[in-house]
Every structure is written in C-alpha cells, then in structure tokens.
Amino acid sequence: MSDRDPSVQPTQHAFLVAWGRFAAEIGLIEAIQGVKLKQKQYTHAPQTKVLEFLVATLAGQKQLQEISLAAHPLDKDQAVAEAWGQPGWADYTGVSRTLSSLSWEEAHELGRALEQISQPWLQAELDLLCRQGQRLRMDGDLTGIPVSNTSKTYPNATFGHMDDGIRLGYQAGVVSLESPTYRRLWLSVAHHPGDTVSCTQAEALVRAAEARTGLRPRRRTECLRDRIQAFREQMAPTEQRLHTQRQALADAQTRLSEAHRQAQERQSVLADLEHAYQVCQRRERPTSRLAQARQRWQAAQKRCRSREKAVQKVQAKLTRTQAQLAQQQTGLARLETHLARLKQDNRTNQSSVEIEFRLDAGFGTYENLALLIELGYEVYTKPHSHQVVRYLKSQVTPQTEWTRVGDNAEMVAWPKLQLKRCPYPMNVALERFYTGKTLKHSALLHFGADPVTQDLPAWFDHYNSRQIIEAGIKESKQVFYLHRIKVRSEPAIYLQECCVLFAANFIRWATQWLAQQQVPDEDTLDVRKLGIKRQVQVAAHVSAQVIRDSTGWLLKFGEQSAFAGKVLRLPGGSCPSPST
C-alpha cells in the first residue's frame, strides 16, 4: 500500500481509538511500558495488560470479564489495540492474572507513572490560576468502596460507614482542584481500610495535595506561637498543683514517720510493762498502767493506718497530676516540633500561594481545624460535633434576625467566635432549613481573610460549591464504576482507584485536544458538546471506520451509530509502534 492509499479498519469503540492517539501523543503508552513488572511474558506483555485495564476503565466497563464477554468485546477490536500501540489485547483472564500478581511496589510505580503524565496538564492549570491571581481551591473527602458484607476474599477489607450504612470494604481519600479550564481535576487518591474515619485523614489529604502540586501557603507561625504561649499558661496551674502536692506528700510522709516512731515507742513501753506484770504476777485491770499503755499503743497503730491512707490519697493525686503534666509536656513538645517544621517550610517556600481547603463535617474536629489554620489554609468546613449546633441554637432569641440564603434556608453568623476547646476564634454560622414541616439546623465554620459574615448568601453558596467533589465521586462510581472492584488483590484495587481518577482527568484533557484538531464544519463532531458520561457510555461504544493515511487518522462514524454522518479527525501519520 502506498502512502496515498488509505487504510480502512472497523471499530466498535470509536473514542477508544481517539483516546489511544491522545495517549500516544502525551507519552502515556511509553510511560506504562517503561514500568518494570516482574512477570513472565507469554503472548502479551504484562504492561500491555495494564494498558488494557486502563482502556477498559475508560470504556466504563463494570466487570473485568466485559473485556472478552461484552456484546462487542474489547479484546477483539484490533483498531483500538493499534491505536494504543499494541499488537493485540489479552483475554480478560490474562488481565486478571497480571493484576493479581502486582506487588505494592509495582502498583505504586504505575501510579507514579500516571502522575508523571498528568503533571504537565496540572502544572498548566496551576500556572493559569497564578497568572489570573486566583486562589487555589481544593476539596477533600473520604469515599467508601463497599463489597459484599459476607465476602471473605477481599484482603484487609473492614466494616465502616459507607453509603449511609455499615458496610464491608475500603475507603479512598481523594482531593480535587477547582480548575478554570476543566472545572475539576483530581489531585490524589489514597487507599485505606473500610474502618478509616474522616477525622483521622485531614492532614494526609492536605499533605498529599501539597506533594502533588508542589505548592503550599505561607504557614501561620504567629498563630502557633500564640497557641504555644497560651498552652504554657494553661500548664502553669498544673505545675503549681504538682509543687503543692509534692509538698503535701512530703508532709504526709513526715507525719506517717512520726506516727510509726510513736507507735514503736509505745509498743516498747507496753512490752516492758507486760514483762514487769508477768514477773510480779500482777493482773491487768481496766485502769491499770498496763491497760492504759495498751490503749495508747492501739491508738498509735490506728493513727499509723489513718496516715498511711492519707499518704496514699495524696500520692494518687500526685500521680494523676504528674500524668496530666507529662501529657501536657508531650503536647507542648509536639507543638514546638510542629512550629519548627512550619518555620522550615516558610524558609524553603519560594512561592507561597493562597490555597483554600473545603471539607465536610467528618473532618471538622478542633485539632484538624487548628492544623489547617496553622498550615496557612483558608478553611471552610462544618463542625464535627453537633454540640456546636446546640450551643448556637441556645444563643438565638426570638429577636434574632435571620438572613435568607436559599429557597428554604436561612443563616445567622457570629464573627470570630471563640468556641470551647477550639484553639482559634472562628467565623461561625447557624443554618436552618425547612424541609416540608421539618426544621433542621447545621453550622458552618470558616477561618481566613474572606469577610464571610458580611455576605451570608455568598458564604452559603461558596461552601456548598464543594458539591464539585461530591459530583466527581458520583462520576467515578456511576461512570467509571469505582465501587465495582474488578480484582481481589489490594495493590490492584489501589491501581483501579488510580486509573479511575486518571481516566476522569484524561478524558477532559483529550476533549480539549480533540477539539483543537478539528476543522469546524457541519460534518465534524463537536466533542466539546459531549459530557464525560456520554463520551464514556456512548462515544466509546459506537461503531466507526478508522481511515488512516500519511496525513493522519479519520474516524467516520457508522450509519447505525449515535453520531451517524459525523467525522472526527486525529493528528499524526502512522500509528504508534506496537510493542513486541
């Protein structure tokens, strides 16, 4: 065939071909093939089967077996394999074996390869935000990945809160970035057992986001210094009490020693009198010297027992105070170590940026709030404890003016309110919602420069904009089926989580790339009008002819497809070199 003669090949997965061309363009195929996997190669390389798993994720396949047993099996679509630079695809059983054999080291290496490919796109968005003078807005959450409650074949699966119930499974900690170009980009994912709770993961989410972006805000060391000073002042009464109790213990021990000495003396006198009475063969009468000596000795013994109890009581108090002070000293040392780390962060931070973090109530413990504040973030969240709502409701009177912030919602706010046991004053708001005849309340918390208490509707809308991550989680489960675990090896489950989040980003980048390649006319498919769900569930499963020549690739959609009469142009001449 000459360079001028086109090659025509059918496919039942049109957009998988397009995405394969994009994957070759950005170096994804080469990156995956460059990861060393300690597995034998028979017909297909293990890296090929990892790529096949990623392609199946992009196709939104619910089960791994759909690779071979779907109405139009992916492993029979040669056009897709060639677009992804592979000589062919393996049966789903081979993919399953390869994934099940992955070690944690290999799974993490594959995850890093996906991050490496993502970095230029992420960096471009970060640079755009900085040029526009915009703050980075990040959202974090923990999402459950349940399995059957009776299953015994998922390693390290545990029971925890998932889907509004107690389920067996895993948790995935995720962070997203609000993107001006793509609306949402996933930054990181972390795999956890099912009993992991949100309040333990706030710092991990923040650290993961910082590691991924390479950016962090200026640490608020001045806040932490004030907190340490206040902590020292709180320790002063404990130290004084310890000093007082040590002195009390010394006094009690002195009194006990005196009681023991007196008891010994009286016992000696009693013994001498008993001996003298025996020698003289005298009887002990109730008022005799011997009887009186015996009574004084018994009184001394009683006094010893009483003072021993007093020593024990003072010792117990001292032990509790010592434990309390030791705990406070440990806390102080932790805060001072934390301060030293924050100072070092500021010294090495050449380009601090403003970053906002939004979290739900599960993360809103006072310790997490303090950490995020000290790390320099603009914090939007809800309180972890419902006691805050009860307290705020007690502060409301019939004369309190409520501000309408939604169709069925009102708010009242308190600027810089010092909540009990919270290290820093927070902007606090009480919300009330009317759902039919039911009135519900919740609270919002904020720390930072935004004057949120001056514009309550804006505060309400801005916090609820964190639905962007909830929509992303919904997309990951309803489009890419994150909650349908396709393998029963924990490293492979982690890889599935990485692939799902990467796929969501990848399609957004590919959409922009594909749109840039088109010459606008009535026959060209406008990919910008196709949402992620439609691309995955429809465009990745429509029939088309793949027409290739020296000028590039062309997808001509079949007459029986949803895009009949449309075409999609792909750049590049020859297809990527198939792996051998």
In this structure, the answer to whether residues 405 and 340 fall within a common structural domain is no
**What was the pLDDT predicted at 274?**
86
> What's the rounded Cα separation, in Å, for the pair 133 and 121?
19
Q: Are the C-beta atoms of 580 and 87 separated by less than 8 Å?
A: yes
Work out how many domains the chain is built from and give that number: 2
In this structure, the answer to whether residues 316 and 416 fall within a common structural domain is no
Q: Tell whether 447 is covered by a domain.
A: yes
Q: Tell whether 200 is covered by a domain.
A: no
In this structure, the answer to whether residues 336 and 406 fall within a common structural domain is no
What percentage of the chain has pLDDT greater than the value 70?
A: 98
Q: How many residues does the chain have?
A: 580
Q: What's the whole-number mean pLDDT along residues 295-303? A: 92
pLDDT tens across 393-441, in order? Answer: 999 998 999 999 988 899 999 999 999 889 999 999 999 998 877 899 9
Q: Which of 403, 431, 465 marks a domain boundary? A: 465
pLDDT tens across 17-53, in order? Answer: 999 999 999 999 999 999 999 988 888 999 999 999 9
pLDDT band at 549 (very low <50, low <70, confident <90, very high): confident
Q: Are the C-beta atoms of 424 and 220 separated by less than 8 Å?
A: no
Q: What's the whole-number mean pLDDT along residues 526-538? A: 93
Q: Are the C-beta atoms of 535 and 522 separated by less than 8 Å?
A: no
Q: Tell whether 450 is covered by a domain.
A: yes
pLDDT tens across 122-180, in order? Answer: 999 999 999 998 999 999 999 999 999 998 889 999 999 988 889 999 999 999 999 99
**What's the distance, CA 346 to chain centroid?**
24
Q: Is a pLDDT exceeding 60 seen at residue 487? A: yes
In this structure, the answer to whether residues 340 and 415 fall within a common structural domain is no
Q: Tell whether 308 is covered by a domain.
A: yes
pLDDT band at 552 (very low <50, low <70, confident <90, very high): confident
Q: Name, in order, each residue with C-beta under 8 angstroms of 97's C-beta and a sequence gap of 6 or more.
A: none
Give the count of beta carbons closer than 10 Å to the beta carbon of residue 99.
Answer: 23
**What was the pLDDT predicted at 63?**
93
* 333 vs 1 pLDDT, higher one: 333
**What was the pLDDT predicted at 572?**
63
> What's the rounded Cα separation, in Å, for the pair 570 and 527?
12
DSSP notation for 477-525: HHTS-TTS---S-HHHHHHHHHHHHHHHHHHHHHHHHHHHH---STTB-
Give the count of beta carbons closer than 10 Å to the beta carbon of residue 539.
Answer: 25
Q: Is a pLDDT exceeding 80 seen at residue 3? A: no
In this structure, the answer to whether residues 385 and 277 fall within a common structural domain is no
Q: Is a pLDDT exceeding 50 seen at residue 1? A: no
In this structure, the answer to whether residues 294 and 398 fall within a common structural domain is no
**What was the pLDDT predicted at 376?**
95
In this structure, the answer to whether residues 332 and 253 fall within a common structural domain is yes
Q: Are the C-beta atoms of 342 and 219 separated by less than 8 Å?
A: yes
In this structure, the answer to whether residues 337 and 416 fall within a common structural domain is no
CA distances from 386 to 161, 358, 393, 421 (A): 18, 19, 11, 14
> What's the rounded Cα separation, in Å, for the pair 377 and 362?
18
> What's the rounded Cα separation, in Å, for the pair 46 and 69?
21
Instruction: Using only the alpha carbons of the chain, give its radius of gyration.
Output: 36
In this structure, the answer to whether residues 330 and 392 fall within a common structural domain is no
Helix (H, G, I), strand (E, B) or coil at 141: strand
Q: Which of 415, 445, 465 marks a domain boundary? A: 465
What percentage of the chain has pLDDT greater than the value 90?
A: 81
Q: Tell whether 568 is covered by a domain.
A: no
pLDDT band at 2 (very low <50, low <70, confident <90, very high): very low
**What was the pLDDT predicted at 574?**
42
**What was the pLDDT predicted at 39?**
86
Q: Are the C-beta atoms of 501 and 475 separated by less than 8 Å?
A: no
**What was the pLDDT predicted at 99?**
95
> What's the rounded Cα separation, in Å, for the pair 92 and 368?
44
Q: Which of 444, 465, 486 marks a domain boundary? A: 465
Q: Tell whether 434 is covered by a domain.
A: yes
- Would the pTM count as exceeding 0.85? yes
pLDDT band at 579 (very low <50, low <70, confident <90, very high): very low
**What was the pLDDT predicted at 576?**
38
Both tokens assigned to 506: 């990848």
Q: Tell whether 440 is covered by a domain.
A: yes
Which residues constitute the domain of residue 299? 227-344
What pairs with residue 159 in β-bridges?
A: 168
Q: Tell whether 340 is covered by a domain.
A: yes
Q: Is a pLDDT exceeding 90 seen at residue 324? A: yes
Closest CA to 473 of 136, 55, 141, 64: 141
> What's the rounded Cα separation, in Å, for the pair 361 and 136?
21
pLDDT band at 578 (very low <50, low <70, confident <90, very high): very low
In this structure, the answer to whether residues 307 and 401 fall within a common structural domain is no
pLDDT tens across 63-115, in order? Answer: 999 999 999 999 999 999 999 999 999 999 999 999 999 999 999 999 999 99
pLDDT tens across 227-264, in order? Answer: 999 999 999 999 999 999 999 999 999 999 999 999 99
Q: Which amino acid is at 264?
A: Q
Q: Which amino acid is at 287?
A: T
In this structure, the answer to whether residues 384 and 316 fall within a common structural domain is no
In this structure, the answer to whether residues 322 and 397 fall within a common structural domain is no
Phi, psi of 498 (to 5 degrees): -65, -45
